[in-house]
Amino acid sequence: MDLHSKQRPGAACSSLHSLAMLIGRLCCPAFALVCLSAMLPGGTTQGQPTLPPPERSQPLFSTPALMDRPRQLIISNGVFSSIPTLPMLSGPIYPSSAFPGTFEVDAPLETGPMAPNREARYFAFRLVFRYIQDTQILFAWQVGEEPEIPFQVITGPCGEAFTDERWRTMADASIEWTGRGGPAAYDGFTRALLGTGRPLTWASCEPNDRVSNIQAPQQGPFTRQRGYQFRRFVFLIPDQVLQGGGRLLARMQERDGSLSEPAAVPVRRAGVSVGVIGDSVAWGQGVMEPQKAGFQIYLGLINARLIPSNSRYFNVAHSGAQIRIGNSNTIADVTDEECERDANLHGEVPRARPSIQCQVRRLAQRSCRVANNEPGTVAVPRFYCDNDSCAPTEDFTEYKFDEGLRWDIVVATGCINDIGAPDIVLGTNLASSTGALRDAVADRCNLRNGLRDLRRWLPNAQIMFMQYHRPVTSNSDLRNTGCASGFVQDLSEAVLQQFPILRGMAAATVNGAATRSSVFQQRSFIAQTAAAEAMNTDFGDIGRGMIRMVDMSDLFTQVTGFMAPANATRLWPLACTGGQVLLPMDTERGSRPGPCSAFFNPDGDRPHNPAEESCLRASAFHPDATANTQMAVRIRRVLNNAGLFPPPF
């Protein structure tokens, strides 16, 4: 944060995205807070004169401003000096998408039994400040127009008097509560202060963190002579002090006690994050967004006013997704290049990529841009995130934030496409026999084979793995399509070539398809449950999350299934109507023709090819809108039983 920066000139997107405008009126620069994305480590520049404070008749300091990493600083002798950089924002603090110009703190910690209130929660993060030499910084917290609450300055786990044990205590506490290393209360004294509602700060002294007395000429008659020093500070803010959000105020204090105008950094408490990963079932094939099971969990929280307005929902699942492409057992082993393949297609289009491994990576990473001409020259550099249309397209620096620890609820499915959904219906390949299918399910529905490190990527999420439905049951009957009896009884080879999945629906084969569907439903749930238990044990008590299985066996039974009688089916049907054969009946069918054609017939020279025709009818065999509502009910039931609806945030 730069406390000695100019106010930004007007720009097309400034009114929406300028942190400076939201922080308040900013005057001529004098004091610099480096916050958010980079810091400067280093030592002390020698030979600088100690200057008396300026005459009080001259202008004092102005408000602080955010600053990014300088690549070079000009020291007093005019020589360019390159200085290494470190992230200047750390801990779970992020630019807000819901409220541009505001930052959000997430993943709270708890003080533990050594505090007066063992349930006391607090938020911890680091910011880097640039400020004029021979001054000190005073910090306060303010909510609205309420009186300011000063931060109590403590020594932190620093110096010879503090042992390595306190460093380990701090690291262990952070990892236990957030799944990531970071600042945290490091002894009973700091826990007790937080438990009584005292906000704390200390000058960080972590490895490569000691930063001071770096000389840098700047505008203004005073700072040109004295230069700057940089230091990273840790902030611990109790929940009852943070409330819904407020302003972190920073002021420089001169030797004579005079104060600068405050730098005001708006900080909100993050809301709840609900995500969706998986295949067509988690995606909600054929279902409008508000009716998808994952969205209904989010909507239920919003409608009941159980979560703040800055909560968010992100569905990265898609039709056809496999857990993995190849043999990688971990999400960490997947490359960014692999994850970029087919990433921008419509979720209704069936394809294997991006894998569920890649979907997890997408949830866990977020990119923001900062224009290179803003740091150090404007009050607060603007962070453009989430493909913001105002983001700079040249001469910018891109920052990646670790979003993995921010997710509270993640709805998931996965493994049917690693076996092959059509094969389960048709009895081919890995499902050529009941024994072969069981072996395939035991291997490919074992979540450790591909998602072994899932909880490491999403350590605080309740990951709700839904049991699959039965695609076909003994109640399935093509006569329920409304097609002519001759069509149903004598499926021509031409029709079967166009719709090969129907081979498993002929009267002579439906019972076999029903048996395989039942085996898959039951065995996949057993395999995933065992894997979830093992993965939860492997990861231990790190973070607040857990993989939880959602039993759907009472919803999808032997009497439901594709083309079951209307009073029993919970899956989207196909129908012969208006003289056309086997039309999809889902509410999203109009969204598929363009994307299906672009993916499966990009040159337009293969009309009515099976892949494109199947894509157009991709909703068939999938849970309909009514079933999605019931799926959400069962997800919520599991969360309620665990005391996690709404989730703590």
Taking alpha carbons only, the member of 504, 438, 496 closest to residue 471 is: 504
Domain assignment of residue 178, yes or no: no
Q: What CATH number should be reported for the domain holding residue 501?
A: 3.40.50.1110
How many helices (H) and strands (E) are present in the chain, helices listed first? 21, 24
Give the Cα separation of 395 and 377 in Å (integer).
15
| Cα-Cα-Cα-Cα dihedral sign, residues 325, 326, 331, 334 | negative
The pLDDT value given to residue 377:
57
Domain assignment of residue 647, yes or no: no
The pLDDT value given to residue 632:
97
Separation in Å, CA 436 to CA 228, 428, 429, 439, 441: 70, 10, 9, 5, 9
Task: Say whether both 415 and 523 belong to one domain.
Answer: yes
Taking alpha carbons only, the member of 382, 381, 378, 375 closest to residue 27 is: 378
Task: Say whether both 199 and 348 belong to one domain.
Answer: no
Cα atoms in the Cβ-side hemisphere of radius 13 Å centred on 492 = 8
Task: Say whether both 317 and 262 belong to one domain.
Answer: no
Cα atoms in the Cβ-side hemisphere of radius 13 Å centred on 402 = 18
Task: Say whether both 556 and 444 belong to one domain.
Answer: yes
Tokens at 365, concatenated: 């990473």
* Domain limit, last residue, from 268, 297, 325: 268
Domain assignment of residue 170, yes or no: no
The pLDDT value given to residue 203:
86
Task: Say whether both 519 and 418 belong to one domain.
Answer: yes
Side chain identity at residue 609, one-letter code: N
Task: Say whether both 479 and 596 belong to one domain.
Answer: yes
Separation in Å, CA 292 to CA 66, 100, 472, 568, 599: 41, 28, 22, 20, 24
Counting the structural domains of the chain, the total is 2
The pLDDT value given to residue 3:
43
Burial 553-564 (b: 16+ CB within 10 A, else e): eebbbeebbbbb
The pLDDT value given to residue 223:
40
Domain assignment of residue 419, yes or no: yes
Domain assignment of residue 175, yes or no: no
Task: Say whether both 321 and 236 belong to one domain.
Answer: no
Domain assignment of residue 3, yes or no: no
Task: Say whether both 475 and 493 belong to one domain.
Answer: yes
The terminus-to-terminus CA distance of the chain in angstroms comes to 27
Side chain identity at residue 595, one-letter code: P
Give the Cα separation of 235 and 242 in Å (integer).
11
Report the DSSP beta bridge partners of residue 82.
72
Residue 94 parent element (H or E) = strand 93-95
**Residues lower than pLDDT 50 in the chain:** 2-12, 14-86, 207-225
**Neighbouring residues of 589: CB distance < 8 A, sequence distance ≥ 6:** 286, 583, 616, 619
Q: How many CB atoms lie within 10 A of CB 216?
A: 25
Task: Say whether both 480 and 543 belong to one domain.
Answer: yes
Taking alpha carbons only, the member of 30, 250, 16 closest to residue 138 is: 250
* Domain limit, last residue, from 214, 241, 268: 268
The pLDDT value given to residue 505:
63
Side chain identity at residue 456, one-letter code: R
Task: Say whether both 286 and 256 belong to one domain.
Answer: no
Give the Cα separation of 554 and 173 in Å (integer).
41
Which range of residues forms the domain containing residue 78? 14-47+61-157+187-268
Task: Say whether both 246 and 349 belong to one domain.
Answer: no
Domain assignment of residue 171, yes or no: no
Task: Say whether both 573 and 531 belong to one domain.
Answer: yes
* Domain limit, last residue, from 221, 237, 268: 268
Domain assignment of residue 113, yes or no: yes
pLDDT in tens, 82-104: 333 445 577 899 988 777 778 99
Q: Are 404 and 457 in contact (CB under 8 A)?
A: yes
